[in-house]
Amino acid sequence: MYNVLLVDDEPGHLTGLSRMLKRIRPDYGIHTARNGREALEECSRYSFQIIISDIRMPVMDGLHFMEQLSPGATPRRVIYLSGYNHFDYAQKAMSLGSFEYVLKPLDVDKFMSVLEKTEKSLEQELDSLLAREQLAARLNAAEPAYNHRLLNDWIEQPPSGSADTAGLAEIAGLLGFRGDGGCLIVACLEGAAECPPAVQEILTARVRACGRAAGFHSRQDQRLFVIVSEVYPQEELLRQLNAPGVSVGISRWSPRLLATAPAAYTEARHAVMEGFYARPGESRVYLAERSRIDPQRRLTPALRLEALITEAVNGSGHGKGAAEASAALLSRMLAGGGLPLPVELARNIRQLAFKVVHDLELLQPEARRELLNRISTLHPGYGGLTELAASVEVFLVEITEALQEARRDRKDGLMARCLDYINQHYTEELSLESVAEAFHFNPSYFCHYFKSKLNITFSQYVTGLRLSKAKELLAASSDKVYTVAHQLGYRDVKYFNRVFKKEFGLTPEEYRSLARSKAESAE
């Protein structure tokens, strides 16, 4: 729907044109004015897409009205009506932006043709305007992503490569620096997978208070927030950048930062890694020229470190022992030389853990697989050296528990073999000493071990086994009692009778008679 303004000093013409428009375009908003001044007042209150105006009017004519009319915020078309077919009127009207010039009296068909042409022109311009607005919106939405990619491409160039001149010029325009010099500042928040927007804004604002700066996320590592600064931080700014839990690495000053950004980024990124080793209360702002990080340092597993872990996991398995072993392991790894990159430290720990787990022969296959899979969790993480030490401690406890379980399983398997041996030899003169000797146990230890596993003594187990078999033989055979006793390993039949009666309250013969009576009754 369009808003239409009709301007004519002749009431009859104004009324007739208004009625015609309402009939052919009932959804249009129709407004009227009797001269140019009233028309200006209407235009100050409403926005019109179509203005149909007479030229010759008292107070203010149509041409003067158009000269005074301010440009509209939306597309607008003007159709002039005139009873005079003067070329100078038409020429003047067209110079003022008139879309059409129609002579009075109106020819309805001619007017409809002009109106349709006007509407089509408006629709085309509105569609074009909408398309431009949509394109502008897409460009505005894409601009941050484009700038982010541009800046990351800039700092990630390979050392031997160089950005093209046009690319560097675009970077320079984006940064708006007054010279070519500057430095890179890299920040990360301890325990966070990404530097929060609030921290980004605070750090960037503090740097901008000293000079021009731009901040963006590192594409290589989402934990890192990069600030490009045209000034090198002095004492006051260094103090302001020292925020709780935030590590900050600052590259050396470069007089040609546009060309040397990749090297500066590497310096700042390595410097900020020193925060991984920070102790509580320490300043976490690190300058590249003073950094303790040695990116070239490579660690190799040493036999003494492997022995340290092996000794720890073969111990009692208490948390205190694991904690001490974890602390000692990291301390010995870091001794001497500069600090390795956190990823190098974690890599060495994983390599050492793999060798220890692989070499522990006592581990069950499933436990070994689970521990080997767990090794991948030993990484620098987001919590610094403290978090890595805790992960190592937990891992040592898990190895210890797996070893203890393996030892228990081994002993349980040994007991099963002992019982199987007894079940096969109970008819012989079997003693605790003979079984202990068969399995290379000290008799005293075997006595204690046997009772701890079955909650009965060796003698009670053998007696119970023999008497259970005695009941079966007595009920199923007519063998003499002394024969049954001999078959069960008893050489003294009187002792057998005494033991049997003590256990069941009946002599062997009494039990046999009772068992046969029950069998006959059942038949």
Return the amino acid letter for 219. R
Query: Encoding tokens for residue 101?
Result: 């010039």
Residue 406: CB atoms within 10 Å: 17
Mean pLDDT within 354-364: 80
Q: Which CATH class is domain 426-522?
A: mainly alpha
Strand arrangement, sheet containing 213-217: 213-217, 225-229, 183-189, 246-250, 285-287
Give the CATH fold of the 3-128 domain. Answer: Rossmann fold (3.40.50)
The Cα 20–Cα 340 span in angstroms is 87
Chain position carrying tokens 């050492």 = 352
- Between strands 77-82 and 100-103, the pairing is parallel
Name 168's bridge partners.
Answer: none
End-to-end CA distance of the chain: 108
**1.10.10.10, 3.30.70.270, 3.40.50.10190, 3.40.50.80: CATH of 165-288:** 3.30.70.270
Assess whether pLDDT exceeds 80 at residue 55: yes
Do the Cβ atoms of 515 and 474 come closer than 8 Å? Answer: yes
Residues belonging to the chain: 523
- Between strands 246-250 and 183-189, the pairing is antiparallel
Confidence label for 382 from pLDDT (cuts 50, 70 and 90): low
Residues 6 or more apart whose CB falls under 8 angstroms from that of 513 comprise none
104-163 confidence digits (pLDDT tens): 788 888 888 888 888 888 888 888 877 776 665 665 555 678 888 888 999 988 654 555
Confidence label for 179 from pLDDT (cuts 50, 70 and 90): confident
The per-residue pLDDT for 206 is: 93
> Which sign, positive or negative, has the C-alpha torsion 85, 88, 93, 99?
positive
The per-residue pLDDT for 324 is: 82
Please tell me if the domain spanning 3-128 has the same topology as the one spanning 165-288: no
Confidence label for 245 from pLDDT (cuts 50, 70 and 90): confident
Mean pLDDT within 469-492: 89
pTM of the model: 0.56
Most confidently predicted of 138-147, 311-320, 378-387: 378-387
Residue 461: CB atoms within 10 Å: 17
Instruction: List phi, psi (to 5°) of 407.
Output: -65, -40
281-300 confidence digits (pLDDT tens): 889 999 999 999 999 988 87
Query: Encoding tokens for residue 150?
Result: 């541009």
Assess whether pLDDT exceeds 50 at residue 377: yes
The per-residue pLDDT for 89 is: 61
The per-residue pLDDT for 97 is: 56
Residue with the bigger pLDDT between 411 and 182: it is 182
Query: Encoding tokens for residue 66?
Result: 């158009």
Do the Cβ atoms of 376 and 305 come closer than 8 Å? Answer: no
Q: What is the mean pLDDT of the chain?
A: 84
Would you list the domain boundaries of the chain? 3-128, 165-288, 303-404, 426-522
Query: Encoding tokens for residue 287?
Result: 């300058």
Weakest mean pLDDT among 33-47, 137-151, 464-478: 137-151
**Alpha-helix residue ranges (DSSP H) falling in 156-249:** 165-175, 197-208, 235-241
